[in-house]
Chains A and B, each alone.
Chain A
Amino acid sequence: MSRDLPESGRREFLKTFSLMAGGTALLSTFPSMAKLYASSVNKSPSQPVVRLGVIGTGSRGQYLMQMLQNVPDTEIVAVCDDFKPHLDQAVALTGGKASPYSDYRRLLERKDVEGVIIAVPLHLHAAIAIDAMKAGKHVFSEKSMAKTTDECASMLKVHYQTGKILQIGHQRVFDIRFVRGVQWIRDGHIGPVTQIRAWWHRNNDWRREVIPPSTERRTNWRLYREYSCGLMTELASHHLQVANWVLDAHPVSVTGTGSINYWKDGREVFDNVAVIYTYPGGVQFIYDSVISNKKYGLEVQVMGPLGTVEMEAGKYFLENPPPAPGIVQLINSIEKDLFEVVPVGGPSWVPENPSEDKGTYFINKILYSDGSDMQLVAFAEAVRQNKIVPGLAEQGYLAGVATLLGDEATLTGKTIYWPSELEVEAIKKTAEI
């Protein structure tokens, strides 16, 4: 289907891709990914089409399908959902080309399906992803990874055992603002990271229209403990992935709290949470989320003694302002053997307002992508090449486990420590047995 993409859209798409691959940013954040980008940008006209299935065709699944329409040389050949209206919509999205399935196991039996996109409620991620990998399919599964830490560990283990791609939908890994931000931090521009502060605020009830009423729990699965861990798995997991990525580590421990203080409508998950994760070296990741106020939106602020990076905004701020322009001019004139008058000197009074520094953008252009489409491009390319991007499954795993430990902290009020059996190396060992 993507062969039908208008040339202008395709050009824009590849331009953004090229921007991502440029420079050294990707080489130090995800070295192997640069190869995928490069091969996708420089694709040969005769490269094989990747055939994919989509399991879960609700709103998120259909959103991903629309993204896939723009991914070069991919085809959605099968779609699956046990809710017929969503399944019909998905078939229509493919122009009737995809075969419909109500049972994902039947879809997995298709030999021509090389990979699957899983966009089902959280509690179903693990079972479907594991079945898919065991059926020889590469897997892209929406975040958060799974509903329990055991399920996360099982998914990672099967990934190691089968050698199949397991990519979790943390699109910020593919967002150029974040890629550049992580690179900038690693280059030492803000000094050692001393604290990360993040939040995600919305102002809505988080409900979806229920038709018919009997489908309330399955439609609003995010609100019920049986299916979801609420704000932690649905929102916080993204920013935990970013924190892990920035610090190149997972948290040592987490404390937290949460409550339902506004949307008292029968939901079971908290409508506000506040958690503090401690990383190695005593670096704190302070996070809160509410759905009763949206003034502050969402942000991840990475702070060090020399500066701050606002990852969502894609900009940085330096603690120490640059030298006065006059001083820079003076240095330039000395280097050029010029004797010039230097504009410097004035009263010391400045307004005691908060810093008026608007920050500096990493990318001075309107972005075509927030990473949502790029993650699918990368997945399709990895499937085409049958190559695992080292470290990518682990990003999803570590974010997923951190999210669930944070959820446990909010439920118990206790400090939760990262269990040794959930270390990546421990999972690798169990996979070898």
Chain B
Amino acid sequence: MASRLDLVIPEIAGKQGDNVALKIRSELNRLENLLNPYLSDSIIARVNRFAYHHEVETGSELIHLLHRCIRYVQFTSGLFDISMLRTKQRLKEHAHPDDYASVRQQTSAITSVILNEEKNTIRFLSPDVQIDTGAFGKGYALDRIRNILSEEGIANAFVSFGESSLLGMGLHPSGNAWKIRLNVPGNDAECEISLSDAFVSVSGNVPKFAESPPEQKVHIIDPRTGKAVNTTGVVAVVAKSGLEAEALSTALFLADPDDYQSIMKAFDCSLVYRLMPDKAGKITKYSFKNSDQ
């Protein structure tokens, strides 16, 4: 997943700490082989390569995971879309805005992904669909890490996966939660979040993004247009599941704030922070509580 994982477990004996770290490392290696589309022998790479030509058997874990993701696609009216990897690659290859339309024409919707939960197979109905695990992989991995920590009897821990996906389990040894402040360059608005048995996912574009060459400005794709989104700003979602937090943060970055509540209702999410530039370009913070929680 091409990201650094930082794991902080307070007050753990050295040997147990080594053991836990080894288990987590082993699990991450397993997930790499399942979900990294850039590893030629990974399961998702085989799916992306062959699923248009024939059904690809994947085992039940990936089918269940993709099934959940497709539900999130539905909950977000398609703003969270896991089928955009090929679109993303094409946008990088044809970075000029004039190419967007033709790229979009080649792109098919998530409805072209067919999961067979009895046979644990995947089939694509369009040659232009490829699964982009970058949209949810780290969140899922954090869920798995949380399970390992719980199984090991660890109640208090803090985990950062590439800084964009975070988990605070239990409490800071000297406090009543894990308190973080979002580290968003160019952001004057303070955004502190208290985490206790909760995940945070952060989606968005830092100011440096705007200065980058076009081929590098392909980070978040708006499935409605097939275009890369150039807006500078950040959305942070606090949720009880890493996977849900990650799906939701991407969708809410694209969504109109008026639609936030209706989207949030479908998720086990408590809080959303939106840090976006106002008309004067100053980043302003808005927070949204899930009215269903």
Provide the residues of chain B in CB contact with A281, threshold 8 Å. Answer: none
Contact A330 B206 (CB under 8 A): no
We find that the number of chain A residues with CB closer than 8 angstroms to chain B is 26
A339 interface residue per 8 A CB criterion: yes
Tell me if A341 and B192 are in contact (CB < 8 A).
yes
Interface string of A342-353 (1 = CB under 8 A from B): 111111110111
The distance in angstroms between the C-alpha atoms of A347 and B235, with both chains bound, is 9
How far, in Å, is B185 (CB) from chain A's closest CB? 8
Which one, B175, B178, B179, B204, contacts A347 given CB within 8 A?
B204
A333 CB–B CB distance under 8 Å: yes
Contact B173 A346 (CB under 8 A): no
Expressed in whole angstroms, the minimum distance between the Cβ of B95 and any Cβ of chain A is 12
CB distance from A250 to the nearest CB of B (A): 38
Contact assessment for B206 and A347 in the assembled complex, using a CB-CB cutoff below 8 Å: yes
CB distance from B176 to the nearest CB of A (A): 8
Query: Are A345 and B164 closer than 8 Å at their CB atoms?
Result: yes
B97 at the interface (CB under 8 A from A): no
Residues of B close to A344: CB separation below 8 A: 160, 163, 166, 180-181, 183
Interchain CB contact under 8 A, A342 and B173 = no
Is the C-beta of B16 less than 8 angstroms from some C-beta in chain A? no
Which of the 9-residue segments B3-11, B46-54, B67-75 touches chain A? Answer: B3-11
Most buried by B among A326, A342, A343, A352: A342
Contact partners of B206 in chain A: CB under 8 A: 346-347, 349
Chain B interface residue count, Cβ-Cβ cutoff 8 angstroms: 40
Residues of B within 8 A of A341 (CB): 179-181, 192
Query: Is A321's CB within 8 Å of the partner chain B?
Result: yes
Nearest chain B residue, comparing its CB with the CB of A338: B174
**B212 interfacial contact with A, CB 8 Å:** yes
Q: Which of the listed residues A320, A321, A339, A347 has the most CB atoms from chain B within 10 Å of its own CB?
A: A347
Contacts of B144 in A (CB 8 A): none
Does the CB pair A324–B163 fall under 8 Å?
yes
**What chain A residues lie within 8 Å of B6 (beta carbons)?**
323-324, 327
Which residues of the partner chain A approach B178 to less than 8 Å between Cβ atoms?
A: 342
Which listed residue (A321, A339, A347) contacts B202, Cβ 8 A?
A347
Query: Is B182 on the interface with A (CB-CB < 8 A)?
Result: yes
A304, B33: Cα distance in complex, Å:
24
Q: Check: B236 CB closer than 8 A to any chain A CB.
A: yes
Given the complex, which residues of A lie within 8 Å of B166, measured CB to CB? 344-345
| Inter-subunit contact A348/B4 (CB<8 Å) | no
B209 and A349 contact, CB distance less than 8 A: yes
Q: Which of B157-207 contact A (CB under 8 A)?
A: 158, 160, 162-166, 172-175, 178-185, 192-193, 200, 202-206
Chain B residues, Cβ within 8 Å of A321: 4
Contact A334 B174 (CB under 8 A): yes
Contact A345:B182 (CB < 8 A) given known A327-B6, A327-B8, A334-B172: yes
| Distance in angstroms between the alpha carbons of A346 and B181 in the assembled complex | 10
Q: Indicate whether A351 sits within 8 Å of B208 (C-beta atoms), given known contacts A338-B174, A345-B236, A346-B234.
A: yes
Least CB distance, A336 to chain B, in whole angstroms: 9
Q: Let me know if B219 and A349 touch, CB within 8 A.
A: yes
Beta-carbon contact of A348 and B172 below 8 Å = no
A432 within 8 A of B: no
**How far, in whole Å, are A340 and B216 apart by their CA atoms in the complex?**
36
Q: Is the CB of A351 within 8 A of B172?
A: no
Q: Which of A339, A343, A351 contacts B175 (CB 8 A)?
A: A339
CB-CB under 8 A from B173, the residues of chain A are 334, 337
B163 touches A330 (CB 8 A): no
Q: Inside 8 A of B158's CB, which chain A residues have their CB?
A: 330
A356 to chain B, nearest CB (A): 11
Least CB separation from A339: chain B residue? B175
A326 to chain B, nearest CB (A): 6
A333 and B172 alpha carbons, distance in the complex (Å): 10
Q: Could you tell me if B180 and A347 are in contact, using CB atoms closer than 8 angstroms?
A: no
Q: State which of A345, A347, A352, A353 has its C-beta within 8 Å of the C-beta of B160.
A: A345
Minimum C-beta distance from A205 to chain B (A): 40
Given contacts A324-B160, A339-B179, A352-B216, contact A346 B184 (CB under 8 A): yes
Within 8 A of B (CB), among A347-384: 347-349, 351-353
State in angstroms the CA–CA spacing of A323 and B4 once bound together.
8
Residue of A nearest to B174 (CB): A339
A336 — nearest CB in chain B belongs to which residue?
B174
B196 to chain A, nearest CB (A): 13
Question: Does A19 interact with chain B (Cβ within 8 Å)?
Answer: no
Residue on A with the closest CB to B236? A345
Residues in B neighbouring A347, C-beta threshold 8 A: 164, 184, 202-206, 219, 234
The distance in angstroms between the C-alpha atoms of A326 and B4, with both chains bound, is 13
Contact assessment for B183 and A345 in the assembled complex, using a CB-CB cutoff below 8 Å:
yes
Pairs of residues from A and B, 7 with the lowest C-beta to C-beta distance, nearest first: A339-B175, A348-B164, A339-B174, A349-B219, A327-B6, A347-B204, A341-B179
CB pairs A–B below 8 angstroms (13 shown):
A324-B183, A337-B174, A344-B180, A345-B164, A345-B236, A347-B203, A347-B205, A347-B219, A348-B138, A348-B162, A349-B219, A351-B212, A351-B216
Known A338-B174, A342-B179, A345-B236; 9 more pairs at CB < 8 Å? A326-B163, A330-B158, A339-B174, A341-B181, A342-B180, A344-B163, A344-B183, A345-B164, A347-B205
